[in-house]
Amino acid sequence: GENVEQHPSTLSVQEGDSAVIKCTYSDSASNYFPWYKQELGKRPQLIIDIRSNVGEKKDQRIAVTLNKTAKHFSLHITETQPEDSAVYFCAAILYNQGGKLIFGQGTELSVKP
Amino acid sequence: NAGVTQTPKFQVLKTGQSMTLQCAQDMNHNSMYWYRQDPGMGLRLIYYSASEGTTDKGEVPNGYNVSRLNKREFSLRLESAAPSQTSVYFCASSGQIDEKLFFGSGTQLSVL
């Protein structure tokens, strides 16, 4: 069915290393792809988003890339720090289901000092 | 500004009881959403309202009903609670569907 798939479900890296989380989506009409970060016991918060008219967007140590042909997008975190430890969610709008914002299953990132 | 206010924060129900989760936003947003969060399942959309006067089913609508009371308020009702509805519920709002979501603080619901 129509959905958003996210991998990996858990990711452990050493402080200073890079982390990459990947998502695929099924609706070719999707044009908005946000990433949310959720710290333990808190609400999700937007960290970066990308629209289909660009292939990459950066904000300091965070970047998102989009491949519309392959229908996948990725979150890249460079020079990871312990405070990056959290659950990260990707999302996409599924227009063929009436314009619903659907989330991936989440990636629990652990950054070890 | 309070942003998105969600009540209650915690609730314990017995199987078969009913309850309503309240959500209000003060950002003049058009779109409002209810998600549930279960371990390993991410955030699953229950119902959403793209604009005042409209509501639509999400991924997991069974067992729930919603009311978009006005532009500010969007409530979620459990008519007959079941243990499978034990979860953390988040209300969220956005200006439009392709804009940043603002989440409430969540409701931790346990159904015994």
Give residue B2's pLDDT.
80
* Chain B: closest CA distance from residue A105 (Å): 4
For residues B9-46, one letter each, b for 16 or more C-beta atoms within 10 angstroms of the residue's C-beta and e for the rest, the string is: eebebeeeeeeebbbbbeeebbbbbbbbbeeeebbbbb
Is the pLDDT score of B109 beyond 60?
yes
Cα(B112)–Cα(B110) distance, rounded to whole angstroms? 6
Chain B residues with beta carbon closer than 8 angstroms to that of A105 = 40-42
A93 interfaces chain B, CB cutoff of 8 Å: yes
Give residue A95's pLDDT.
85
Q: What percent of chain B has pLDDT over 90?
A: 87
Environment class of A2 (CB within 10 Å of its CB; exposed 0-12, middle 13-18, buried 19+): middle
Q: Minimal Cα distance from B106: which residue of A?
A: A43
Give residue A3's pLDDT.
86
Q: Which two tokens stand for residue B22?
A: 């309240």
Nearest to B97 by CA among A34, A28, A22: A34
| Span B64-85, average pLDDT | 96
Is the pLDDT score of B101 beyond 60?
yes
pLDDT in tens, B13-65: 999 999 999 999 999 999 999 999 998 788 999 999 998 889 999 999 999 99
Option in B43, B100, B106 nearest A103 (CB): B43
A20 interfaces chain B, CB cutoff of 8 Å: no
Option in B42, B103, B104 nearest A106 (CB): B42
**Which regions in chain A score pLDDT beneath 50?**
1
Residue pair B34/B74 in contact (Cβ under 8 Å)? The answer is yes
A31 interfaces chain B, CB cutoff of 8 Å: yes
Give residue B1's pLDDT.
65
Chain B residues with beta carbon closer than 8 angstroms to that of A89 = 42-43
pLDDT in tens, A31-60: 999 999 999 999 999 999 999 888 999 999
